[in-house]
Structures are given as C-alpha cells and as structure tokens.
Copies of this chain bind each other. A is one copy, B any other.
Amino acid sequence: MSTRQKLVDGMADLLWERGYVGTSPAAILERSGVGQGSLYHHFDGKQDLAVAAIQANAEILKQAARETLVPPGHAYERLERFLLRDREILRGCRIGRLTQDPEVYVNEALRRPVEDTFQWMRARLSEVIATGQQLGELEDAVDPDDMASAIVATLQGGYVLARAEHDESRFAAAIRGLLALVHSQVRQP
C-alpha cells in the first residue's frame, strides 16, 4: 500500500474513533506507520488529509447501502436487510459522528462530504419506499422522504443510545422498534 493510502486509512480510522478535533498529527503518523515528513508532502495539512479520509469513509457506507438495498425482495425486506446488516455498533457511525465535531460543523470543506453522504443515503431509502408504495407493497400513509429520514435518524440515534450505555443491545432495541412500526405499513395481500 502506498504511503499516501496508509495516511488516508489511518486518518479514516481516527476520525471514526476520535473525530477531527480529537485527532492529532502525531496520532495519525503512529497509526499509519509513516514519518512526519510524509503527511506534509502528500497533503497540505491535517484538514486536507481529513477531507480525503472522510470521502473514503463515506464510500464504505455507500457501498454497504448499495449491497443491501438492491433487489431481490419487497420494499420491507430491502429496508430490513439494510437495517440489520452487520455493524460495529459501539464504534458508532463513521460519518454521522462527525456532525458532533465542533470543527467539522463550522468548516465547509469538512462538512460538505458529510452532508452529501446523508443526502445520498436518504435519496436511496426514499426511492425504495416510494417504489414499494407504487407497487402496492406498502401503504402510502407516510411520505417516503419523511420515512427515509426517520430510518436514517433511528440508525444514527441507535448508535448514540448504544454508546451512552456501553451496550450494543440498545441499538438493536431501537431498530426492532422501528422495524415493527415500519412493518405496520406492509399492505396485506
């Protein structure tokens, strides 16, 4: 692996674990196993590397969503597959955790890829729900965009609950609750 790639991967992990303000150049170098000079040769500085690392983390999330949201299956089954995919619960969300970082929140270069990822995710879920409603698989009592927002929010909040209590099962409970509510939208044949 290239030195540049080692830096991006190390930074991506640290952003996930500690956020932007909680990650120092020294920690990046130690995690990546490269020397001081390499960081400032390949990137303008911490922020520049962070943008690349955030994009790498976003791509991982998007790929996992693509793999689970596709057919086969009715809308409910596709949503269920997405919600129940394997996750490292207590580590939280690689992208969502950054919304709480005070520097990311006010820095457009850092926040932009975060915003893009949430918009993308919401659009994909909304498509699945709208298609399900059109095919008569789901009741159309709930606006697809609102339901997609509630699903993404429950995921993000599930991580919060689990981390608050150091207990993965709090995430599972929230997802069970949501799935039970969504299941009430499945149209009986």
| A interface residues (Cβ-Cβ under 8 A, vs B) | 17-19, 21-22, 92, 96-97, 99-103, 105, 111, 114-115, 117-119, 122, 139, 141-143, 145-161, 163-166, 170, 173-178, 180-182, 184-185
10 CB < 8 A contacts A-B = A18-B102, A19-B101, A22-B101, A100-B100, A147-B181, A148-B177, A150-B173, A153-B153, A153-B155, A153-B178
Known contacts A150-B154, A153-B157, A161-B118; A141/B184 CB under 8 A: yes
> Given A139-B184, A146-B173, 7 more contacts at CB 8 Å?
A100-B100, A145-B173, A152-B157, A153-B155, A153-B174, A160-B160, A178-B181
Which chain B residues border A122 with CB–CB below 8 Å?
A: 161
Oligomer: number of copies? 2
Using CB atoms, name the residue of chain B closest to A114. B164
Using CB atoms, name the residue of chain B closest to A145. B173
Using CB atoms, name the residue of chain B closest to A142. B180
Q: Contacting A163 at CB < 8 Å: which of B99, B150, B157, B176? A: B99
Known contacts A97-B100, A155-B157; A177/B164 CB under 8 A: no
How far does the Cβ of A113 sit from chain B's closest Cβ, in whole Å?
Answer: 10
How far does the Cβ of A148 sit from chain B's closest Cβ, in whole Å?
Answer: 7
